[in-house]
Amino acid sequence: MRTPGELVTALTERAFTGQALDSRTGSMYYRARWYDPRLGRFIQADTVVPEPGNPQDLNRYAYARNNPLRCADPTGHCPWCIPVAIVILKGVDYGWTAYDVWQAARVLNDPDAPRDEKLLAGLNIAVAVAFEAGEPDDELPVAVPLDDIGRRALMVRARLVLAEGGEEALRRYLREQFGEQADEVLGWVVRAAEGEGARVIERHHLLPRRFREYFEAAGLDINAPEFIVELPRDVHRLKPYGLHTGPDNWNRLWRDFFTENPNASPEEILQYLDWMMRRFGLR
């Protein structure tokens, strides 16, 4: 009768689950202990009992709970290693994608996020969906987050391209990567980046509330219609060009004014307001 060990010896130096085979003794090395295929048993007791409540685990000379078709034990200790590893890798795969999509969605919904960041966030979501849908490992009993690694590499390159050459360079890069579908992808990305957040009309107080007491002492009502203008959110407070962004923004220039002139008269305030409106393109 031929034992499994004889068959394997003839073909390779590696045995079941890829363990090393000692051709001299015919034993297999399982890291924690040696296995004799002719006996169908380990020749040393297992140094651990994975689940003391499982009677199969109490036989410390058995291989993989005497069920090699369902279980594997590459280390000599753990019959569930491969299924557990598959579950962990699946978790990493889906978790990574989900985390990146969540982060990208946050950027898209952030009214203060710059347009370039929104473009990249939209692209990240589009690519994540496309890659995840076409991932071959979903059909196989393995899960390696190759799609996430590839997507990250693509996004790193896209960020560089956008920073160096702007949106047109990004369009060319996407055409290289996705061919005909690039325009469709970019169209979706631009629509996402210029979504509701940028089109909202907001009320801008020309006389900031932070200095209300100073304005009111000068007889100016900050809520009077002539001191409120309606502006798109991106003109009002979105980076990079919003009135309330940057170091010399609307409120900080008023701060400069009141630092130099804390008891300004209405005429002085209105003259400064006129200058401010010209500076920020509101006149």
The yes or no reply on residue 42 touching another protein (CB under 8 A) is no
Least distance CB 259 / another protein (angstroms): 5
Instruction: For the beta carbon of residue 163, count every other beta carbon within 10 angstroms.
Output: 12
∠ CA 38-43-45, rounded to 5° = 140
Stretches 23-31, 148-156, 166-174, 250-258: which one binds another protein (CB under 8 A)? 250-258
The contact mask relative to another protein for 198-237 (x = CB under 8 A, - = no) is: ------------xx-xx-xxxx------------------
Nearer to another protein, 180 or 248 (CB): 248
Stretches 19-27, 123-131, 228-236, 256-264: which one binds another protein (CB under 8 A)? 256-264
Nearer to another protein, 103 or 261 (CB): 261
The yes or no reply on residue 252 touching another protein (CB under 8 A) is yes
Stretches 3-11, 47-55, 77-85, 247-255: which one binds another protein (CB under 8 A)? 247-255
DSSP string over 107-161 = HHH-TTS-HHHHHHHHHHHHHHHHHHHT-GGGGTT----HHHHHHHHHHHHHHHH
Three-class secondary structure of residue 185 per DSSP: helix
DSSP string over 2-24 = --HHHHHHHH-SB-GGG-EE-TT
80 DSSP assignment: B
The yes or no reply on residue 268 touching another protein (CB under 8 A) is yes
Q: 215-218 contacts: CB < 8 A, separation 24 or more?
A: 215/269, 218/264, 218/265, 218/266, 218/269
> Is the Cβ–Cβ distance between 61 and 45 less than 8 Å?
yes
Nearer to another protein, 63 or 211 (CB): 211
Count of residues for the chain? Answer: 283
CA distance 113 to 99: 18
Least distance CB 241 / another protein (angstroms): 17
Nearer to another protein, 184 or 221 (CB): 221
Nearer to another protein, 44 or 245 (CB): 245
Number of residues engaging another protein in binding (CB under 8 A): 31
CA distance 27 to 21: 6
Residue numbers at the binding site for another protein (CB under 8 A): 210-211, 213-214, 216-219, 247-248, 251-253, 255-268, 271-272, 275, 279
